[in-house]
Structure 1
Amino acid sequence: MYFTARERNLLRLLISQERSHTVKELAEELGVSERTIHRDLSVMEKTLDGFGISLRKQAGVGVSLEADPTGMESLRAALTRTAETDFTPEERRTYLLCTLLETSEPVKLTVLARDLGVAPATVRQDLERVEDWLQPFDLVLLKKRGWGIQVIGGENNRRAAMRSLLADHVDEATILELLKQSLGRKAPEPSGIVMERLLGLVEGERLIQVEEAIQAEIGRLPYTLADSAYIGLVVHVALALERIEKGETLRFDPDMLQSLQQGPEQEVAKKIAARLTAASGKEVPESEIANIVLHLRGAKRGDDRGFWFEDGSGTPVEGTRELIQRIREETDAPLEQDPSLLRGLLAHLERAVYRLKENLPIHNPLLERIEADYPELFEIVGKAMAKTFPQYEIPREEIGYLVMHFGAALERRRRGRPLHALAICASGIGTSKLLASRLQTEFPEIVRVDTASWGGAQQTDLHKYDLIVSTLSVEMDEIDYIRVNPYLSEGDAARIRSYLNERRRVGTMPPERTREEVSEPRILESMKAIRKTAEIALMLVEGYSLSPLQEQSLTDVLQKACRRLEAKGVLQDAAAVAGKLEEREQLGGLGIPGTGMALFHGRSKKVEKPSFTMYDLEQPLKVEGMDGNRMEMTRLLLLLAPEKEEAAEQELLSRISALTIEAPALFQSGGEGDIRAFLAEQLNRTLHEKLDQQRSVES
């Protein structure tokens, strides 16, 4: 058990003077706001219960501790044992930023030094770095002797800085779960204290309220949100509510406010605000609703092509082509001949220009790595963007994302034709698709990744693939493959990169595939495949469910889930299928890193039809993650398919497995209706993609 520096000071103050203290007195003594004192007291109540100490709050009198002498002595001993831990310089600066951004009042230098356990001179040095960090957000650090230190700047800029600070230190894929966890005391480490301070920017209960409101309404949009954008929106709205309580609200130009009061985002934003008002009792101002509209418009998925065209907002097609031409002139590479580059840039710039126009913040966690990997290209893209879009000030984070697009295109050209890979796992419907997604993220030149079970791979011409990876040890005569972790570790990526480079060097890549001749039988075969895909997609969506399980062991959980599916006619012999799932778990971890989910999947002759279901566990179970680490499973995801392999079944079940890592927040905490709607939308999109492919074949 440990206490933060401010909590130690607060408790020592309450213990040392045997009287009640008003919240105002405590706030003045510790140099913080009254709201901060209220929050600290609320957080500490549960901890104090463990000492047999109660927190007595009397209106008009104040706050005091009530306990027998034994309990009070135990608390004094704990405070004595609690180390006055040392922070790294980076942790100190993060702590300072949290404190200064959260309050709109000046904070005394001596208070900051006392909280961090360092000399005031050290804090002064740290504040110089803090000033540099705040500068891109147009925030200024005002310092006056005898008065304190205060962040000065616009409310929108302050919120943008808060979001960026969170994003800098907490991965997007896990931020939602981390914020929702209680701020439990697990280890007396400075990093834990700093993380607690970061997560303290948003109260956990408020975050849950916000997520529930957004989750209930975003389905009304004519497009989907990328998972990172969804998480960012939740954090943004939660921060906004915190600031509204402090009387800090946004202001918009009347003309701009009017322009935002139309379109589907306005209706969704109003409904989100109404839910939040009902839950918290705090009215959400029109300016804050407009800000939600801005974030919704700037956060749509890149693969929702056409929405902005239909909406009339327009995508800068000419600007995109001009940008490509400028980079071509500097690199002397025929980039205009790369259709993947054009499509990717159009999707990205569509959102980027909107963000720039509305001055929306953007965070790029890969910026430092991109600048190190592509220093010359970074400079070229920056200058080209300034000439192509002179009306905007382009942030380095935005340039970094564009460099990734151009870097991938140049890499594809340098390495020759696009590559075709095969990912193999036990069933071909689970971890192989997760692996496929990771491969395409890490290696842009791999434009297509097929997935297969080991049995299915044996029936395939393996010589046509440039790369074969497998999560299993398999025997393949005269065919090279690389065994990898399903989550593709850095070591796996390095081995694959070395392997591809060596094959190019010695010239052993398969010849480029030629386009197959289009014929009537092939067209009919394709049409039948599309019909089959539609039938299976409908079966999966209608068969989906999310239900609770109270069993205490993995064996019992799997057997109970399989018995339920047996009762629905999905499978026969529940015990046999459950046993096979346990055997699959022994081959390698099935837990999805960074979540509380595990994806159990398999094929069996006892399974009658493909199925995807989910189960909430009353008792968390320890399982192995795909990265090899142990983790707690709180939600079981179950993918099942008949033993006889159908291409459409494999494609759709694989797509579902990929969605679990593309939208982990939804699958981790979403309700049955929300997830079913998302599945229907995504599988319908897969069906339309097949139709588009068919049209391209016929043309």
Structure 2
Amino acid sequence: MISDFSPRLGQITLNLLMQDSPVSVKYLADSVGVSKRTVQRELEYIESSLKKYNLSFQSKAGTGVWIEGDKSDKEKLTALLMADDTLDVSNKDERIKKLILELLKESEPQKLFYYANMLGVSEATVSNDLDEVAKWFDKFKLSLVRKQGFGIYLEGKEKAYRKALTAFIDEYTSSYKLTQNDKNTMRESNLIKLIENKSSKNIYSLLDTDIMKRVISCLINLNNEQIANLTDSSYAGLVIHITIAINRIMHNEIIEPDSRLDEDIEHDRDYSLAVIIASSLEKEFDIEIPEIEVTYICLHIRASKMQNTSNSKSSKRNNTLVSLVYEMIEAYDPDISYILEQDDAFIDGLIAHMQPTLVRLTNGLAIRNPLLDQIKSDYPDIFKKCKKVTAMLEEKLNLKVPESETGFLAVHFGAAVVRLEQNNLSKRTVYVGVVCASGIGISRFIKTKLEKVFGNRISIETYGKGDLDSNTIRKTDFFVSNINMEVPDGADIIFINPLITDSDIKNIDANIRKYEITADKSEDRLDFYNQLDLIHNLTEQMKMILDNFNIITISKDIDFEKYLDVLKDKLIDSDDNSEIILSDIIAREKIATQVFPEMGFALFHTKTSGTKHIRMSACISDSETFENEYFKGISCIITMLLPDDEHLNMNRKLLGFLSEMLIEDPTFLEVLNSGDVSVGKDYLSKILKKYLKSIIN
């Protein structure tokens, strides 16, 4: 690693340099495979390391971290870091990767000391790492043999060895890397550049660069349209497969015959191409390629995907494959299967995908999906339904379908569902409930954020966790909640972070899209008499809020306990039960603090049986802000009391609206901070009038 960066800091820095916008420390931790604390510790040294490269490290709460500087300076450091392939021996995953690589390269047994010396760690550490390495090789039916006094080596069939070799290359690189350079350069050149690139040389040292160049030359000279039409990833896979095969044949390591292979394969047009390729290779390398090797070249071609499916064999609809695809769609979701079957682009794409996939499944060829984890994370519902599809395939075909294939199916079905949603003109409003402890505080902040993001796609109500009765669940499509709670029967709940992360927004959006195209839930509509009753009760509660409204000035040094004393002495009526009220406020604050420094205020609110009077009041500092650390420099402490009586739901919505206005209307907080009770009451009247109009309308 270049002297200014430790191996781990180099990884973190390289990750940051790859980003176009700020990222979170958690993102870096997940990318590098360490804890947040480890990343934070490494970042303490990044500023001094970046200085000599004319770059600086930046961080901002709520935004993330990033590297600031000229593009040319960033590119220079990126190149230096990528060119350095020093192993981070403190990273177990890196050590395991290195051990797998070396074992695949070694033809002779090596002692434990050899690997310990190579890695710069103890023999005990290597021995422990080899336990994990053995598990990796087990997947390919290769045994990791450890003999005292003799050494460590792999044992198994040649076919298993080649599978492991190919899997290792697939696992630690991606096909994207093979084609991400200048689009005007040929993919063959990109492939050679990747192999010769120092940042990849450790992995690709498994391949003989000279052999690969000669293999590529043979394929180019054939000038074959079918080869030219292979997708970039399939072409790279074919080149790597042949390179490995030639190298092994030259070392007299021939793959074992397999009686399970298709006996009619010689009549396949792909076999004819495989014979042509093998003949060219025999002349180039002056070797004899066994029949079994030609068969595997054929299988690799047959299992490849074409760039232009409309002109390829993959697009030809045969009745058996079409029938299978329709069964897959039915297994995915019977409710929308008929609509999906009308999507020709989806049907053709799925047929084109399944034809080579069935070849791979039937012949035990690996199916790699580097985006599997991302697909599972971003589209959990679609992935879950696709597991039903793979279960059907396993039963029908008597074949094991790997999870990687489920991921590919999720991409196809997901795209079809998105098209279906975009084409659906009868989308409806989705009814969303936001649940917090009380239904007044945090839920209102969440409600405001979701309304800004999703607009008129949703209609939102806020609830306390005790409000989810059968009637509420029946009229609400789904709920979002920031608190841990049991999920009532029939309720669809998404649990989110109070600050609402990008991941939360994605999950909520997915649910909205799901419900937009489903039948509307029954709605409760008030008749005119009930509306009059509601308005009468609401105006009574509004009058009570105005009658009880007050603003008082208190010491800037006050802490939470002394605030409770002020509340008891000056803001709670004598006929109220102050002990119950204070106990309820304390209990609510323990769930999650209601001090919001970024908003400039605290909102202590609670449902309580200690009062019969709905109430809102404010305390302001005798200086500009409160200085006790509990209040984090805010300027105003607002208290809202919600009586636990027959008007509970109505009053919760009313106080919730006032909470919302504190966020959306900056003047409201300014008026409270003025300390003028008369002005405050006038402004509060305007807000209440606005709410009443919305109810009437």
Q: TM-score range by the shorter chain?
A: 0.3 to 0.5
Scaled by the length of structure 2, the TM-score of the pair is: 0.44
